[in-house]
A and B are shown apart, each in its own frame.
Chain A
Amino acid sequence: MNGWANSLQEFLAMGKHGDYVWASYGMTLLVFVLLFVWFRYMLKSLRSQVQSRLQTDDQEASSAKARKLKVDKA
């Protein structure tokens, strides 16, 4: 199918309404990209939280084990 514009300038200008059309499409793109980045960041940061908690748990468990061994020896 053929489009309506003959040149890139004509396409971008859209008569007198280029600013309005591109502002709408641009803002929509911006909002959705922001949501995408935000939700992705939420998931990532939650995962690293869980991971760091698991690590500290491991450390605590091993140090508790070590302490217990000492007590046993004494």
Chain B
Amino acid sequence: MASNWRWFHQLGSPKWFFEKSAKWLPWLWALFFILLGLGLYHSLWVSPQDYQQGHSVRIMYIHVPVAALSMVGYVAMAIACTIGLVWKMKMAFAAARAIAPVGAAMTFLALFTGAVWGKPTWGTWWEWDARLTSELLLFFLYLGFIALHSSFSERNKADKAASVLALVGVINVPIIYFSVKWWNTLHQGYSLGTGGVADEFKPALFIMIAAIYVLFANLVIMRLRAEVLLREQKARWVADWAKGSEKGVKR
């Protein structure tokens, strides 16, 4: 029974994570590039154009994955914050801090690709469409988290305060989404790609979603490694690691 939870305690150890993640990353990047190659081949070359939208439908293969990850990222951040607050696990706070910039980047890309997709589809860069508007507010929530976290001189306070904000935010995300949706139907807006995705677009879309998921994980792990180093710079193992890697570098 106890051994079932060992991975959890190990993840809580910065040293264990730092050492293991160095081994995981090359494999994860390899996996990402395989998925990316396949995904780009399908999304740009194999998949047909849409009979209405033409080739601009290919933007969907970027837009949908990054939009999905922007929301998954926020929920993941809130879960990490809960673990940090409830079990006082420092690694969880570090993870939340690491997810924030990557999630914000995903949200920005969802907005950007949504706008660029909107131009040929709606004839305008911006439409107050329910999903784009929610993404915009999600972007503000990410920026708020990062801004609050960087406004404290004590890291302990920054972690906890930003976590409370993330939890308040995660309660609000569905409320924001549904109120914006309600408001949107009131004003008879348009929406992108409603009514499901046709079968011929599915392979490219699913491979790209998988690729972006792996990319998200990779970037978060990279950011988390930096965050762990920042937080543990006084630790003995960091000094050993810095000395060890110095030997590797020829001068």
User: In their complex, do chains A and B touch, with some C-beta pair under 8 Å?
Assistant: yes
Bound Cα distance from A14 to B45, whole angstroms: 10
CB-CB under 8 A from A18, the residues of chain B are 55
A5 to B230, CA, bound (A): 50
Size band of the A side of the interface?
20 to 34
The stretch from B7-15, B58-66, B158-166 touching chain A is B58-66
**Mostly helix, strand, loop or mixed at chain A's interface?**
helix
Residues of B within 8 A of A17 (CB): 54-56, 58, 120
Q: Which of B85-104 contact A (CB under 8 A)?
A: 101-102
Q: Which residues of B contact A5 (CB under 8 A)?
A: 45
Contact yes or no, B113 A27, CB < 8 A: yes
Question: If the complex has contacts A24-B63, A27-B109, are A39 and B55 also in contact, measured as CB distance less than 8 A?
Answer: no
Which listed residue (B66, B119, B215, B233) contacts A50, Cβ 8 A?
Answer: B233
Contacts of A11 in B (CB 8 A): 44-45
In the bound complex, do residue B238 and residue A4 qualify as a contact, i.e. CB atoms below 8 Å apart?
no
Partner of B55, one of A15, A42, A49: A15
The interface residues of chain A lying within 8 Å CB-to-CB of B63 are 24
- Which residue of chain B is the closest to A43 with respect to CB atoms? B226
Q: How far is the CA of A15 from the CA of B9 in the complex (A)?
A: 54
What chain A residues lie within 8 Å of B116 (beta carbons)? 20, 23-24, 27
Interface presence of A40 (CB below 8 A): yes
A4-B48, A54-B242 known; A21 and B56 CB under 8 Å?
yes
The answer to whether B49 has its CB under 8 Å from any CB of chain A is: yes
B222: chain A residues at CB < 8 Å are 36, 39-40, 43
Contact B112 A20 (CB under 8 A): no
Taking A24-B117, A46-B226, A47-B245 as contacts, is the C-beta distance between A32 and B48 under 8 angstroms? no
Q: Report the separation of the CA atoms of residues A46 and B242 in the bound assembly, to the nearest whole angstrom.
A: 10
Q: Which residue of B lies closest to A14 (CB)?
A: B55
Min CB gap B23→A, angstroms? 16
Q: Does B177 contact A (CB under 8 A)?
A: no
Q: CB-defined interface of B207-251 with A at 8 Å, one 1/0 digit per residue? A: 000000001000100110110011001000011001101100000
Is B136 interfacial (CB-CB < 8 Å)?
Answer: no
Q: Judging by beta carbons under 8 Å apart, are A32 and B105 in contact? A: yes
CB pair B226 A24 closer than 8 Å: no
Given A24-B113, A25-B62, A36-B219, residue A50 in contact with residue B120 (CB < 8 A): no
A interface with B by C-beta (< 8 Å)? 1, 3-5, 11, 14-18, 20-21, 23-25, 27-28, 31-32, 35-36, 39-40, 42-43, 46-47, 49-51, 53-54
